[in-house]
Amino acid sequence: MTTAVETHGHALSVPTEPPPIDAHRMEGMRGLFALMGTQRPLVIGASLSAVLGVAAGLAPFFFLAHMATAIFATPPRLDEVRTLALASVGAVALRYVMSGLATVLAHVAAFRLLHELRMRLARKLGDVPLSFFATRTTGELKRVMMDDVNQIEAFVAHNFPDGVAAFAVPLLTAAALVSVDYRMALASIAAAPVAVLVMSLALRGTEEQYRTWQATQDRTNNGLLEYLRGIHVIKTFGLTAKSFGDLAQSIEENTRWMERFMRRHGRAYGAFHALIGSSLVVLVPMGGHLYLAGSLALPDLVLFLVLGPQLLTSLMRVMFAWGNVKRIGEGNARIARVLLAPDLVEATKKAQPLHHGLAFRGVGFRYTDGNEALRGVSFEAGAGKVTALVGPSGAGKTTIARLVPRLWEATSGRVEMGGVDVNEIPLDALLERLSVVFQDVFLFHGTVKDNLRLAKPDATDEELVAACKAARAHGFVEALPDGYDTWIGERGARLSGGEKQRLSIARALLKDAPILILDEATAFADPENEALIQEGLATLCQARTVLVIAHRLSTVASADHIVVLDAGEVVDQGPHEALLGRCGLYQELWARHAEARDWSLHVRGLRAAEGVLS
Ligand SMILES: Nc1ncnc2c1ncn2[C@@H]1O[C@H](COP(=O)(O)OP(=O)(O)OP(=O)(O)O)[C@@H](O)[C@H]1O
């Protein structure tokens, strides 16, 4: 695939682990606040409105108590009753305005946050080294970008202001009730210690359980992605989702988890609900007793009977709010882990290449999993020359090609461009000089033009056509339903492998970089396609430094310099004739190539003969 290297301007590399971040710090409210970024003022505004709304909602209860005093006074103070009634209506109106405002502010903040977080994550994924992806699956990253961000959005929009209000209600109510009568206030919360105990027992171990839940969710996500990607293979073998072992198993595990969770916590939740609703059981007899004993006024009794039970039910909302914070905590930490991953280290020296040659000097490389792919590799790919890398599968050819654009970085030795270490060349300058044509071409969902312009955003239509003509792609592009404006890629028109290759050659031609890294296709396209690809490549290779992972006899034989690799080491190097004379492995590879060519010519001959005979 050419584009990631050519156009994004962010080569990826350096096998480094993500920094150890304090997961607990990110799981709680502090972590959530940190992720809120620029939306914090809006979220605080929403929370304050919610608290004001709650306070306004409590006020009528007090007015009601005072109304009772005014009504039962002799004579009744009707003016006061009227004023208090009006004040109650005002308070109720204020409550609705404030809670409406809280909802609007919270939703605006949530949607902006959703956008902001996704953009930050997407930018980050472009800046991190490739090793970052080696330790994470696509399913995991998809979940962070979609599900975890969605959770935060839903939490901020629906639960956050409510949650803050839930914490404010018991405090405000308790303060108000204590100021009226501390004995009755204590009676109102008599059941609280037991309820809190039950609540904490119910919540005990939930973090660990949520982690298990998330792990099985991850497996389901990955399983589903794989299932969808491999649907062709699955259908060919007549398999079903059920026979896709891991997926079926993780879906079953999810169901079992939910059953276990409900069994374990169901009773505790029930007990908690019963206790929360039980405050009148204490308030009525005690209030009655105090009233009859003359130490509690009737209005105060009324106040406690209406407001007392509210105190404990608001505790239930606190529990839900806290449960929600816990639920999204793991997701917050996962988002933070991605956002805090170290970027690819940019060159500090800002050197510029002196010419267009490449050189490997004693290069060693180890993948993140410890696999040593290259050992002491040294060779030069001269400016304007074609250098071919040959060797058996797993010899390290692709790895060498990846080190030049810093997709990965050499573990030891130096990779040079124009006599300068690639690590000392600013990334933009490095990538500007390089075109990479890999055999598996990735086309984005967009028009042919969009895909071509990835290589040169300001290319004119004429330039696009010229590049496609030179890459022998113009003919088939013109034949597409909308020509250059036809949608291609995953959800667009399907192109053959050979057609994709020719488009990627056109992209490289448009970029017009002096150095070309070329991974020749291993699979042979049909003869016509094959000939067109070769013509396109021949144009592309003219007057450039070419480093080619060679799979073809013609390329190898006509290369200026050939590097023979085996198990990560350079076995020999030189021109074709010299290697044929002295290098055993090269002779063997050549013989195998020749055999394959003869076999392919033989088959084509037979087909041609069949054609003539039939
Ligand atoms: N992303 C990776 N992580 C770990 N090891 C890898 C990775 N990519 C390649 N390797 C290993 O590095 C070694 C060299 O692989 P490389 O792909 O460079 O060989 P190659 O010569 O290009 O092979 P082929 O001709 O089959 O493409 C192999 O042992 C391979 O298994």
- Kindly report the protein residue whose alpha carbon is nearest to atom 28 of ligand 1: 394
Q: Are strands 434-437 and 515-519 parallel, antiparallel or unpaired?
A: parallel
Q: Are residues 124 and 182 in the same domain?
A: yes
Q: pLDDT tens for residues 9-43?
A: 333 333 333 334 454 555 666 777 777 878 888 98
pLDDT at 7: 33
One-letter amino acid for residue 577 of the chain = E
- The 3-state DSSP class for residue 426 equals coil
User: pLDDT higher for 412 or 601?
Assistant: 412
Mutate which of 133, 363, 368, 371 for ligand 1 pocket (most atoms within 8 A of beta carbon): 371
Q: Phi and psi of 386, rounded to 5°? A: -100, 120
| 152 closest CA partner among 305, 19, 328 | 328
Ligand 1 mean position, distance from CA 577 (Å) = 28
Average pLDDT of the chain?
81
Ligand 1 mean position, distance from CA 180 (Å) = 77
Helices and strands (DSSP H and E) totals, the chain? 26, 12
Q: Are residues 370 and 326 in the same domain?
A: no
Ligand 1 mean position, distance from CA 233 (Å) = 24
Q: Are residues 386 and 479 in the same domain?
A: yes
Q: Are strands 372-381 and 358-366 parallel, antiparallel or unpaired?
A: antiparallel
Sign of torsion, CA 162 166 171 172? Answer: positive
In this structure, is residue 116 part of a structural domain? Answer: yes
3-state secondary structure 531-588: HHHHHHHHHHHCCCEEEEECCCHHHHHHCCEEEEEECCEEEEEECHHHHHHHCHHHHH
Element (H, E) at 261: helix 245-276
Ligand 1 mean position, distance from CA 20 (Å) = 29
pLDDT at 12: 32
CATH code assigned at 437: 3.40.50.300
Cα–Cα distance for residue pair 217/244, rounded to 1 Å:
16
Asked if pLDDT for residue 467 goes beyond 70, the answer is yes
Ligand 1 mean position, distance from CA 209 (Å) = 39
Query: Which atom of ligand 1 has the smallest separation from the CA of 395?
Result: 21
Q: Are residues 10 and 44 in the same domain?
A: yes
Give the number of other Cβ atoms within 10 Å of residue 395's Cβ.
24
pLDDT at 604: 54
CATH code assigned at 178: 1.20.1560.10
- Kindly report the protein residue whose alpha carbon is nearest to atom 2 of ligand 1: 367
In this structure, is residue 447 part of a structural domain? Answer: yes
Ligand 1 mean position, distance from CA 234 (Å) = 27
Q: Which of the 8 DSSP states describes residue 342?
A: P
Cα–Cα distance for residue pair 159/553, rounded to 1 Å:
66
Mutate which of 131, 136, 398 for ligand 1 pocket (most atoms within 8 A of beta carbon): 398
Ligand 1 mean position, distance from CA 218 (Å) = 27
Model confidence at 77, pLDDT cuts 50, 70, 90, reads confident
Q: Are residues 286 and 369 in the same domain?
A: no
Mutate which of 367, 517, 548 for ligand 1 pocket (most atoms within 8 A of beta carbon): 367
| 412 closest CA partner among 425, 423, 426 | 423
In this structure, is residue 174 part of a structural domain? Answer: yes
Q: pLDDT tens for residues 118-135?
A: 998 988 888 887 777 767
Query: Which atom of ligand 1 has the smallest separation from the CA of 389?
Result: 21
pLDDT at 570: 96
- Kindly report the protein residue whose alpha carbon is nearest to atom 31 of ligand 1: 394
Residue-number span of the structural domain to which 435 is assigned: 358-584
Element (H, E) at 113: helix 78-127
In this structure, is residue 237 part of a structural domain? Answer: no
Ligand 1 mean position, distance from CA 398 (Å) = 7
User: pLDDT higher for 74 or 423?
Assistant: 423
Number of independent structural domains in the chain: 2
Give the number of other Cβ atoms within 10 Å of residue 523's Cβ.
8
- Kindly report the protein residue whose alpha carbon is nearest to atom 6 of ligand 1: 367
Q: pLDDT tens for residues 279-321?
A: 888 888 999 999 899 888 887 888 888 888 877 777 777 777 7
Check if the beta carbon of residue 388 is closer than 8 Å to that of residue 546. Answer: no
pLDDT at 15: 33
Ligand 1 mean position, distance from CA 395 (Å) = 7
Q: Are residues 431 and 557 in the same domain?
A: yes
In this structure, is residue 606 part of a structural domain? Answer: no
The ligand 1 site (C-beta within 6 Å) comprises 134, 367, 369, 371, 373, 391, 393-399
One-letter amino acid for residue 18 of the chain = P
- The 3-state DSSP class for residue 108 equals helix
Q: Are residues 310 and 386 in the same domain?
A: no
Q: Rg of the chain's alpha carbons, rounded to an integer?
A: 36
Mutate which of 133, 397, 585 for ligand 1 pocket (most atoms within 8 A of beta carbon): 397
Q: Indicate the residue among 311, 339, 367 that finishes a domain.
A: 339
In this structure, is residue 378 part of a structural domain? Answer: yes
Cross-strand partners of 416: 359, 421
Give the number of other Cβ atoms within 10 Å of residue 590's Cβ.
18
Q: Are residues 334 and 406 in the same domain?
A: no
Mutate which of 368, 399, 555, 571 for ligand 1 pocket (most atoms within 8 A of beta carbon): 399
Check if the beta carbon of residue 270 is closer than 8 Å to that of residue 154. Answer: no
Q: What is the dihedral of CA 352, 354, 358, 363, to 10 degrees?
A: -60
Ligand 1 mean position, distance from CA 592 (Å) = 21
- Kindly report the protein residue whose alpha carbon is nearest to atom 29 of ligand 1: 394
Cα–Cα distance for residue pair 427/452, rounded to 1 Å:
22
Asked if pLDDT for residue 248 goes beyond 90, the answer is no
Model confidence at 2, pLDDT cuts 50, 70, 90, reads very low
Separation in Å, CA 563 to CA 243, 357, 424, 569 = 46, 15, 25, 10
Asked if pLDDT for residue 169 goes beyond 50, the answer is yes
Q: Are residues 567 and 440 in the same domain?
A: yes
Q: Are residues 334 and 366 in the same domain?
A: no
pLDDT over 90 percentage in the chain: 23
Tokens standing for residue 86: 């009006």
Q: Are residues 29 and 144 in the same domain?
A: yes
Q: Phi and psi of 488, rounded to 5°? A: -125, -170
In this structure, is residue 170 part of a structural domain? Answer: yes
Q: Are residues 322 and 367 in the same domain?
A: no
Ligand 1 mean position, distance from CA 367 (Å) = 9
Q: Which of the 8 DSSP states describes residue 168?
A: H
In this structure, is residue 236 part of a structural domain? Answer: no
Ligand 1 mean position, distance from CA 523 (Å) = 18
